[in-house]
Amino acid sequence: MTQAVMLQGTASDAGKSMLAAGLCRIFYQDGLRTAPFKSQNMALNSGITPDGKEMERAQIFQAEAAGITPDVRMNPVLLKPTSDHKAQVVLMGKVATNMDAVSYHDYKPRLRE
């Protein structure tokens, strides 16, 4: 049976990503298969996966801690702020568009398609 662990917090920069990386490493060392997942992230800290796609560095680090290759499915939506109310939208590792917050809120339901 597949089991999941969810980490939640009420603040940014509280240590959730580092804790997730630590758990990924512990599970990997214990012989368990695990993979990180963060559906949407707002950060400027991105990296490039081995297949040339962009995703948040924390999920890349977590994947490496889990002993697996980083994959954009682990972080399908990355928002990279360009101003106080606008961001570059990266979908599945590729730049899709730039949007303001209101437009993105209206656009989000279409991301499931």
Residues 72-110: tens digit of each pLDDT: 999 999 999 999 999 999 999 999 999 998 999 898 888
Token couple for 108: 């989000």
Mean pLDDT across the chain, nearest whole number?
Answer: 93
Q: Which residues pair with 89 in a beta bridge?
A: 79, 97
Amino acid at 21: A
Token couple for 75: 């972080």
Q: Cα–Cα distance between 73 and 59 in angstroms, integer?
A: 10
Taking the model in full, what pTM does it have?
A: 0.88
Q: Where are the domains of the chain?
A: 16-112
Q: Which residues pair with 15 in a beta bridge?
A: none
